[in-house]
Structure 1
Amino acid sequence: MDLKKDVQQQFGKSADSYVNSPIHKDGKDLQKLLAMAEVSGKEELLDIATGGGHTANAFAPLVKRVTAVDLTQEMLLAAEKFVKGNGNQNVELVKGDAEDLPFSNNSFDVVTCRIAPHHFPNISQFTKEVSRVLKQGGQFLLDDNVVPEDDEYDQFYNKIEKWRDYSHFRAWKKSEWIRMLEFAGFEIVEWHRFEKIFYFDSWCNRMNLPIEEKKNLTQYMISASDRIKDKFKITIKESQIISFQGEAILLKAIKK
């Protein structure tokens, strides 16, 4: 089974929990993303890997039209219910692959992608596709979990994410994102780093992690070095993990 089938399987069975997930629904990052965008109300916007539809829903009142694309049919149905339930009629939902977008060149003024690229197996193909469908001078607004530059921290974070969610591919380093986007013909004009607290139980349960695996993951994180526990602010109480901290970046890049 390839990773894209894994993604469809994982998100197919947890579509509703993503629509209702506070990290996706109420994250301060979404408000920041809206503030970073320069929109006049005339734009055609593409939201890639729309998931629960939160980004599409937030931008819909601010632009002419939103096209929301996702690989997983169940996600699209859940997103449509959420977006249309909020009264946004200018959103079209389309099934499609972030690495092979079903749109013609230079179709959009703005492209958004939030908390999704860590699932994409061919990230350079994704950045090329974003560039292809964006008009010259168009804005790409990216928001995703990243890892520290230190390789030990990088390996730890990606290992626990993959353990929890087999459809996770890789959270990239900040420097890797800058390099990939500049090579794809973008100029990064604004970026922000922010910290994210993950509450262990809801983080595991959102992906329906089996109880035995949750125990094994707990043990792995508890037995991590003090250096790692300190970096990720792993909070442990009575041999249970309460929370830990990751990081994300938001950036705005312009197609040159």
Structure 2
Amino acid sequence: MAKDFKTRVREQFSRTADGYIHDKGFAGGADLEAALNLLQPGSDDTLLDVACGGGHTAMFFAPHVRSVVASDLTMQMLKKAQEFLSEEGRVDNVTFREADAEDLPFPAGSFTALTCRIAPHHFADVPRALKEFHRVLRRHVGRMVIIDTLLPDDPEIAEFYQAMEQMRDPTHVRAYTEPEWVQMVSDALFDVKHTAIFPKTHDFPEWSRRSGLDAAGVKRLNQFFIDAPDKIHDYFQIETFAGEVESYTDRKLLIYATRIDKK
């Protein structure tokens, strides 16, 4: 099952790679600035960016560290990310590596810092990925920042969120609440030092099309939003005009944690 699912992930992101490269929402934001302040990267740091997507996080951190390895499950995404960074021409210390987050092809202790941004909701086994993060981080100095969509605590709103994400992108597995994230990270032998929540507003037409939905799929998803109960409209701040969804706002959770050394 996991192999078949990862094949679907590769196919999905191979088809939609261009959309992620050129989406400005990934290029910056308060979450990245907070990650930089928490990680405090320096010229001696080697950073791994897991599930790098369009390469925006790797490019953001590259000027602050000795080197960055940008890894992703999808080779086509890596090629597009490499082209993007080459065109930007701002950094020359990023290398790209095809890698499964749940089975990273790096020796233990290869990196001093790790980032993983807006990706774990696509992972089949997040706890396994976190154990890999622990393994490839160096003893005594290893630290990481994970940023991903926050699952609402309210069960009805959470159910809506899971449903609409899977309507948009069948490779979405699930999002997690803050307590769930803290528990998983702690179980993987990390010390959670800080969490923060950031709102993110999405342009609905752009967001829905980026995943490769056809016109009929976009229409179904639009109606799903329109028909949602008032409390879901309020929570996601859904903006509509003439029966069309214009935007909605979700929340991203940032977790900063340091590696606990095994005894």
Which residue type is aligned with residue 132 of structure 1?
A: R
Contact kept? 1:112, 1:142, Cα under 8 Å = yes
Match of 1:11 in 2: 13
Match of 1:157 in 2: 161
- Moved segments of 4+, more than 3 Å: none
- Secondary structure at 1:52 match in 2: coil
Match of 1:118 in 2: 121
Which residue type is aligned with residue 205 of structure 1?
A: R
Pick the structure with more strand per residue: 1
| Equivalent position to 1:35, from 34, 37, 47 | 37
Contact kept? 1:233, 1:244, Cα under 8 Å = yes
* 1:227-238 correspondence runs (5 A): 227-238=231-242
Match of 1:239 in 2: 243
Match of 1:89 in 2: 92
TM-score, structure 1 normalization: 0.96
Match of 1:68 in 2: 70
Which residue type is aligned with residue 102 of structure 2?
A: E
Deviations 1:165-204 (A, max 9, x none): 1111111111110000011111111221011111110001
Q: Separation in 2 of the partners of 1:53 and 1:218?
A: 29
Match of 2:197 in 1: 193
Match of 1:59 in 2: 61
Q: Separation in 1 of the partners of 2:108 and 2:91?
A: 26
Contact kept? 1:192, 1:249, Cα under 8 Å = yes
Which segments of 5 or more consecutive residues in structure 2 lack a partner in the other structure?
none
| Equivalent position to 2:214, from 207, 210, 221 | 210
The Cα of 1:151 is off from its aligned counterpart by 1.5
Match of 1:50 in 2: 52
The Cα of 1:9 is off from its aligned counterpart by 1.2
Query: Share of identical aligned residues, percent?
Result: 38
Contact kept? 1:19, 1:78, Cα under 8 Å = yes
Q: Separation in 2 of the partners of 1:247 and 1:3?
A: 26
Deviations 1:130-171 (A, max 9, x none): 011111231111111111112111111111011001111111
Match of 1:79 in 2: 81
**How many residues matched?**
256
Match of 1:101 in 2: 104
The Cα of 1:26 is off from its aligned counterpart by 2.9
Contact kept? 2:149, 2:175, Cα under 8 Å = yes
Contact kept? 1:18, 1:206, Cα under 8 Å = yes
Which piece of structure 1 moves more, 79-88 or 207-216?
79-88
- Secondary structure at 1:5 match in 2: helix
Q: Separation in 2 of the partners of 1:73 and 1:129?
A: 20
Contact kept? 1:56, 1:83, Cα under 8 Å = no
The Cα of 1:233 is off from its aligned counterpart by 1.2
| Equivalent position to 2:170, from 166, 174, 186 | 166
Match of 1:134 in 2: 137
- Secondary structure at 2:59 match in 1: helix
Which segments of 5 or more consecutive residues in structure 1 lack a partner in the other structure?
none
The CA RMSD over aligned residues, in Å, is 1.3
Q: Separation in 1 of the partners of 2:136 and 2:153?
A: 30
